[in-house]
């Protein structure tokens, strides 16, 4: 493949990676909680898109918005589990608890749906489009476009709406936000809900272009971490940038490295950034409280 088509492919995949990571980023930004079950929520998004497609023939691009309220509810529920943990212990405890939730979600999916690989084949799944000499499948194109639009909308939501501003204020400084009259608990819960909705939406855009199986989430969680680390910020823009970097790096790596080594790129990027910015994982405000 040509270098340019590798890059273009990587950029389109990168947008989807960005969407997967955005939810993780916003939850971390506001609550300092690393949600280990994020990838499994993406998996749930994929399965719900698959079911609605199989049973009712609804396109994932439509159904993902229909199921969004359920994901909001799920997010709020998970938040309810985490909220009462004392702040001092919360960082580590929530890490381990969400790891447990990840196990619960993945194994439940296994029991309900079995380990079979499922696919969502849309009427236009086989059609391709030519962009600057690169052939791209219709679903991949649509998924990437939707990802980009969703991230931009979410960014607008954060900067333009009242709730969005409250979320940002809480992310910057909980105590001051509370003093300014922000209901920190409600905002945290809403943020968690929103983060989980974004993961669900990411599942929706992934369903037509990826296999659906119970443990698929573990593929995404590592990528999402890598994106967040690369983006280096608790911002949507950072996630988009991180996603694009990862997408391109993977595409190039896949072409030039042996197949089995391709996946190492994600980890090398992840560890590399961690290593050179030891306190700066998600923007380096770790020490500030």
Partner 1 sequence: MKRSSHRDLVALLLCLGVLSLLPAVIDTRRMPYLFDVLFSVNVAVLLASSWNILGGFAGQVSFGHAGFAGIGAYAVALLPHHLQWSPWLSLPFAGIAAMIAAILVGGIAFRLRGPYFALSTLALAEVARLVVEGWRSFTEGTQGVVIQQKPLYLFEADGALFYITSLWLAGIALLAVITIGQSKSRYFLHAVGESEEAASALGVDAWRCKMSALLPSAFLAGMAGGILALHTGFLDPESAFSISRSVEPIILTVVGGIGTALGPVVGAVILVPACEFLRSRFPTGHLLLYGVLLVVFMRFMHGGILGMVRRKRL
Binding site for partner 1 (CB under 8 A): 34, 81-82, 84-85, 89, 91-93, 95-97, 99-108, 110-111, 218, 222, 225, 258, 260-261, 263-264, 267-268, 270-271, 274-275, 278-279, 281, 286
In angstroms, give the least distance from the CB of 268 to partner 1.
8
CB of 36 or CB of 68, closer to partner 1: 36
Extended beta strands in the chain, E state = 128-131, 134-137
What does residue 47 show for φ and ψ, rounded to 5 degrees? -65, -40
In angstroms, give the least distance from the CB of 135 to partner 1.
29
CB of 2 or CB of 95, closer to partner 1: 95
- Residue 221 tokens read as 């969680």
CB of 72 or CB of 225, closer to partner 1: 225
In angstroms, give the least distance from the CB of 271 to partner 1.
6
d(CA 134, CA 67): 33
d(CA 99, CA 176): 31
In angstroms, give the least distance from the CB of 224 to partner 1.
11
CB of 85 or CB of 178, closer to partner 1: 85
CB of 157 or CB of 215, closer to partner 1: 215
Distance set, CA 121 to CA 36, 100, 125, 138, 233 (Å): 29, 32, 6, 12, 36
Beta-carbon count within 10 A of 87 CB: 10
CB of 158 or CB of 174, closer to partner 1: 174
In angstroms, give the least distance from the CB of 201 to partner 1.
24
Distance set, CA 153 to CA 79, 94, 121, 141, 147 (Å): 24, 29, 28, 18, 10
Those residues whose C-beta lies under 8 Å from the C-beta of residue 178, and which sit 6 or more positions away, are: 184
In angstroms, give the least distance from the CB of 84 to partner 1.
8
Q: 5: exposed, middle or buried (C-beta count within 10 Å: 0-12, 13-18, 19+)?
A: middle
């Amino acid at each position: 493949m040509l270098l340019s088509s590798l890059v273009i492919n990587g950029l389109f995949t990168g947008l989807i990676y960005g969407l997967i990571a955005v939810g993780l980023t916003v939850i971390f930004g506001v609550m300092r909680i690393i949600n280990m079950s994020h990838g499994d929520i993406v998996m749930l998004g994929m399965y719900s898109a698959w079911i609605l497609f199989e049973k009712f023939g609804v396109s994932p691009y439509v159904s993902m918005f229909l199921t969004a309220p359920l994901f909001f509810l799920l997010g709020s529920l998970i938040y309810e589990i985490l909220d009462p943990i004392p702040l001092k212990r919360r960082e580590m405890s929530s890490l381990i608890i969400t790891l447990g939730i990840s196990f619960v979600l993945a194994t439940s999916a296994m029991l309900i749906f079995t380990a079979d690989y499922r696919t969502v084949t849309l009427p236009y799944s086989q059609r391709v489009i030519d962009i600057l000499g690169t052939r791209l499948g219709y679903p991949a194109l649509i998924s990437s476009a939707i990802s980009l639009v969703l991230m931009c909308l979410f960014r607008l939501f954060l900067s333009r709406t009242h709730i969005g501003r409250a979320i940002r204020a809480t992310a910057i400084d909980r105590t001051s936000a509370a003093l300014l009259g922000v209901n920190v608990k409600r905002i945290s819960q809403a943020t968690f809900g929103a983060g989980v909705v974004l993961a669900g939406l990411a599942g929706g855009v992934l369903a037509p272009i990826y296999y659906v199986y119970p443990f698929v989430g573990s593929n995404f969680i590592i990528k999402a971490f890598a994106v967040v680390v690369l983006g280096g910020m608790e911002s949507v823009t950072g996630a988009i940038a991180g996603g694009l970097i990862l997408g391109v790096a993977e595409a190039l790596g896949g072409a030039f490295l042996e197949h089995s080594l391709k996946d190492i790129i994600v980890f090398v990027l992840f560890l590399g950034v961690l290593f050179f910015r030891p306190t700066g994982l998600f923007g380096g405000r770790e020490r500030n409280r």
